[in-house]
Chain A
Amino acid sequence: MYSPEEIVETYEMLSLQHLNIRTITVGINLLDCLDRDLDKVKSRIYSKVVDTALKLSKAVKEVEAKYGVEIVNRRVAVTPIAILLEPFAGEKKVAKIGLGLAEVLDKASEDAGIDYIGGYSALVHKGFTSGDLKLIESIPEVLSSTKRVCSCVNIASTRTGINVDAALKMGEVIKKTAELTAESKGVGCAKLVTFANAPEDNPFMPGAFHGLGEPEVSVNVGISGPAVIKAIVEKNQDLDLRQLADLVKRAAFKVTRVGELLGREVAKLMGVQFSTVDLSLAPTPKQGESIANILEAMGLERCGAPGTTAALMLLTDAVKKGGSMATTFVGGLSGAFIPVSEDVGMVEAVKAGALDLEKLEAMTAVCSAGLDMIAVAGDTTAESIAGIILDETAICVANDKPGGVRIIPVPQAKAGESVEFGGLLGSTVVMEVNRFKPDRFIKRGGQIPSPIHSFRG
């Protein structure tokens, strides 16, 4: 039998601290949909996505009821669509074909009750195929004309270095996407991430895609839980940091166990393989669900103050240590997310002048997600955005970690203005970008070679 303290702790975590499963994301292999006949490709994709997604929805409902734990999002990740575009790469209207496939993904997710579908993606860390180029060109139109389709492009990896041409292209794609969705403040960019070392089993959007090393179908879980960790940090103000790290570790174990249990059961009900739990702490715009507030509860006056990077390292590491004990397979990004607009504490820190782009960049060196949901002025150039992307990917490549850039050049907005994106995306302040130009460096193009990590070979 369980002690009342244990039962009440579970109750508190689930009810008062909003512990829930952020997402269960099912990866689906679409390689068997490859064909030169476009109609065949479309109908195969549609039925495969809908069939699997309906099974997912049914399993999620059943498991939620059994355990009294909310599963907030149901999502699907598919094989990078650039691969499915290859047979059409020689055709003139290939960008339109890409859009057509995206529309099928959008329709399938809507019909099956899926929040977001990821995988309008290309992996170009060592160069472009014809399909990759066409897919990247079509991203702005896809993101502005579909609702649920998410896109990620991997432009760098520890093994290959950084594709600088791709960084510049992504700068241009981001600008164009923002312009095409100007009416909603460039929010199309919220569905797009430029990655380094993109994981193949990431459950979180917009970075999720079903990698080529994955099985036919996989189930990946993203947990939540910042409020659980914050409550523990707040309650224990007199502990030293070693003791605090230990407590966070224990809490992370419990949080991750919930994800492990529910993920396993959903996979079992669907009759497919359970893959991984992503150990990331994911904030939401709700009060109390903020990573910045955890760092502040540790003793920083504001997130961004000197010491912030160290506090974040302690937090991320403790979550990883507790989490890896709780799950058989760790996947995805596994760290702390610091998306500015989705985290009220981050937004407040920016408003107070405590947190700027440069400090955020430093923080990404010790957590996984990268520069996430950053709003910048609408007149920020494609080259400056590419420069920000290059800096972030350099941190990831040098530290052998995944990470990305999700940046929104809000049309017409100036640094310091408030912007409201709505819903889970939250509201934020437009951040200041360094005004000096990186143009000549970026326009050299080519590939930044992979750094040496050790001389042992």
Chain B
Amino acid sequence: MFRLEVGVSSMSDERVVVTVLGADKVGIVAGISRVLADNNVNILDLTSSKIRDLFVMIMLVDISKSSVSLEKLKGLLEAEAAKIGVLVTVQHENIFRYMHRV
């Protein structure tokens, strides 16, 4: 895991972080993971917690076998999140690795 970044790594080119933020309510996990399953996106890791009064769910997902593009998936997740009444962000894993790992 510990290696010098030279160029953009291809190691995790297919891993995406899905973050859900909002007030806690019924159906958040179900709604979001249904969209992922419907599009053949595998959940690699999942954690949820409360930070500063916010319900935060973080999913690390693998989109290598996804039936839709990242952009399309993002749109579908945003539509579902709007229905539930939470905020979803979909970002490639690299940004977290770059910001939080030296």
Interface residues of A (CB under 8 A from B): 1-2, 4-11, 15, 65-69, 253-254, 257-258, 260-261, 264-265, 268, 325
Contact = CB atoms under 8 A, between A and B. Distances in A.
A68 B91 CA distance: 6
Contact of A4 (B58, B70, B98): B58
Contacts of B98: 257-258, 260-261
Contact of A11 (B19, B60, B94, B102): B19
Contacts, number: 73
A8 B45 contact: no
A261 B100 contact: no
Contact of B49 (A2, A4, A265): A4
Contacts of B92: 66-67
Interface in B1-36: 7-8, 17, 19, 21
Nearest to B7: A264
A11 B95 contact: no
Nearest to A326: B98
B70 A268 contact: no
Contacts of A258: 95, 98-99
Nearest to B6: A328
Contacts of A8: 21, 51-52, 54, 56
Contact of A69 (B45, B47, B58, B95): B95
Contacts of A325: 102
Interface of B: 7-8, 17, 19, 21, 45, 47, 49, 51-52, 54, 56, 58, 60, 70-71, 74, 89-92, 94-96, 98-100, 102
The 10 closest A-B pairs by CB, nearest first: A257-B98, A261-B98, A68-B91, A6-B100, A254-B99, A66-B92, A1-B45, A67-B95, A4-B49, A2-B96
Contacts of A257: 98-99
Contacts of A260: 98
B8 A65 contact: no
Most buried by A among B19, B52, B99: B99
B96 to A, nearest CB: 5
Contacts of A6: 96, 99-100
B68 to A, nearest CB: 13
Nearest to A6: B100
